[in-house]
Amino acid sequence: MSEGYNLQTHLDSAAAPALAADLKALRGRPVRVDGGAVRFAGTLSLQVLIAARRQWLEDGRDFSVHPLSDALGAACSDLGLSLTDIGGSQDDQNDMERTA
């Protein structure tokens, strides 16, 4: 069973250290991150999510972000990121591309 983690609504640079610490505390366990309430996501917080996803992959554990808010998807798109880079599914990525 996956651990649940809810992202804050405002993921600016000030939120990134706490996000990193919270995710680090969950390392070693499958994690499902709820990004449905995100209204703003800055570059540093997205970098934390990318790094976490990569670490979980390296550890052989599941790391997913679902649901994803439109703002979270737009922030990824604005930076040239795929939703899969932060733990979104390929279906989420396909849906975003269809609506763009």
Sequence ranges of the domains in the chain: 3-99
Which tokens sit at 1?
Answer: 């069973």
90 or 76: which carries more pLDDT confidence?
76
Q: How confident is the model at residue 85, as a pLDDT?
A: 96
Per-residue pLDDT, averaged over 51-73, amounts to: 97
* Per-residue model confidence as pLDDT tens digits over 5-61: 999 999 999 999 999 999 999 999 999 999 999 999 999 999 999 999 999 999 999
Pair 43, 71: CB distance under 8 Å: no
pTM: 0.94
CATH number attached to the domain at 3-99: 3.30.750.24
**CB-hemisphere CA count at 13 Å for 39?**
2
Distance from chain centroid for Cα 70 = 13
